[in-house]
Structure 1
Amino acid sequence: MRFSGFSRPSKPLSCLGLAAALVFVAIGWLQVIPNAGVFGWIWTIGALVIAIYHVFNIVLPQGVPETTYDFASGQGNLLGGRSTLTVEERLAQPRALRAKGVVSEQEYQHQRQRILATL
């Protein structure tokens, strides 16, 4: 089974980002546009887009996703379920836990079957 999720700035962080963006909009409107022309408009519009982004994160329950993750259930990584370890290394981990008495033989066999099923 695959799961996906996303991260976004927290509401307090978005409030801080909104305040900073509004300061940059004001600076752009009052200082940069009169003195820098086209660059001033680009500056101000960019700051306005950032402000709108943070408003959406504050107002909407789910916000605007900044990073989207897609991962397989039970794999424990964000690489789409692919492990960077070799099969032997992955099998050695539950074997070591069984040898230490941390997991039972039944739990070991279950984990072993899960690892072998990914081949």
Structure 2
Amino acid sequence: MTQRYRVKPSKGQSMFGFIVGLMFVVLGFVLVVPTFGGFGIIWLLVSIGITIMHGINAFSEKGVATHQVDVQSSKDIMDQEGGYDQKIRQLHKLMQDGIISETEYESKKRELLNEQW
């Protein structure tokens, strides 16, 4: 089973982004829109979006994730790789085929059996 974790900025980072975003919005209204016209409107909209995102992250528990991480459980990984019995059978076959020696087989078998189940 794969678990999905969401990663969002810390409250401090979001608060800083919110304050800077507010300054950019004010700067946009006062200076950028009157001076640059269409570009100023784009500047203002982006500034408002950034401010809203950081405001949500700073003042709510849910927040807007910047990353998502999918983590497989160790049981899923074992199921994909095969169980211990299958690994030991594969080792035994390698020994029978002469690919590894009996000493190598016993050593690797001990390693497998000592792993956490």
Which interval holds the TM-score relative to the shorter structure? 0.5 to 0.7
The residue number in structure 2 matching 1:94 is: none
TM-score normalised by length of structure 2: 0.63
**Shift in alpha-carbon separation, 1:106–1:12, aligned structure 2, 3 A:** same
The residue number in structure 1 matching 2:115 is: 108
Of structures 1 and 2, the one with the larger relative CO (CA 8 A, separation 6+) is 2
Q: Distance in 2 between matches of 1:109 and 1:43?
A: 55
The residue number in structure 1 matching 2:39 is: 39
Q: Distance in 1 between matches of 2:48 and 2:63?
A: 17
Q: Which has the higher helix share?
A: 2
**Shift in alpha-carbon separation, 1:69–1:109, aligned structure 2, 3 A:** closer
TM-score normalised by length of structure 1: 0.63
Identity among equivalent positions (%) equals 31
The answer to whether the aligner puts 1:53 opposite 2:60 as a matched pair is no
Q: Distance in 1 between matches of 2:66 and 2:32?
A: 29
The structure whose Rg is larger is 2
What secondary structure sits across from 2:74 in the alignment? coil
Q: Distance in 2 between matches of 1:49 and 1:36?
A: 19
Q: Deviations over 1:72-112 (max 9, x none)?
A: 0138xxxxxx9xxxxxxxxxxxxxxxx7xxx97743374xx
